[in-house]
């Protein structure tokens, strides 16, 4: 079984400042990792994914994340945020051989002008 912890339920950040949204996971098997974004009143959109290979993955809208196996983390970063980044961000994990995604509780990113 897998579990995901997103410790920060809300993160306020000034516009053009950097941001890091934290995600830790636990699993008894190797995993695939994902970040999804949910804009207000919309569905879930994939930001980026780690399936294999380089541990630093780049996604849409200038976001990137780094897979750290020893720390079981997959933190999401952006060097300079914009008002349009205001959304809920979900970290998700899928174990090798499993079909279902297990989601974290989400982090609400609020950009302060």
Q: 112, 75, 40, 82: which is closest to 66 by C-alpha?
A: 75
In 1-113, the DSSP E strands lie at 2-5, 10-14, 19-21, 24-27, 31-38, 44-50, 56-58, 64-68, 73-78, 87-95, 102-103, 107-112
Residue 95 engages another protein in binding (rule: CB under 8 A): no
Q: Which of 74, 102, 107, 109 binds another protein (CB under 8 A)?
A: 102
Residue with Cβ nearer another protein (46 or 83): 46
Q: Which of 17, 29, 51, 60 binds another protein (CB under 8 A)?
A: 51
Question: Would you give the distance in Å from CA 5 to the centre of its chain?
Answer: 11
Q: Which of 10, 26, 30, 45 binds another protein (CB under 8 A)?
A: 45
Residue 11 engages another protein in binding (rule: CB under 8 A): no
Binding site for another protein (CB under 8 A): 32, 34, 36, 42-46, 49, 51-52, 90, 92, 96-106
């Amino acid at each position: 079984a897998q579990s995901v912890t997103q410790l920060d339920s809300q993160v306020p950040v000034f516009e053009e400042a950097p941001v890091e949204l934290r995600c830790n996971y636990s699993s008894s098997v190797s995993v695939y990792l994902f970040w999804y974004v949910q804009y207000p009143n919309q569905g879930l959109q994939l930001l980026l994914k780690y399936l294999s290979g380089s541990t630093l993955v780049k996604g849409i809208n200038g976001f990137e994340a780094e897979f750290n196996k020893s720390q079981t983390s997959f933190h999401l970063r952006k060097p300079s945020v914009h008002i349009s980044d205001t959304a809920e961000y979900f970290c998700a994990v899928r174990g090798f051989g499993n079909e279902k995604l297990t989601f974290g509780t989400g982090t609400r990113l609020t950009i302060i002008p």
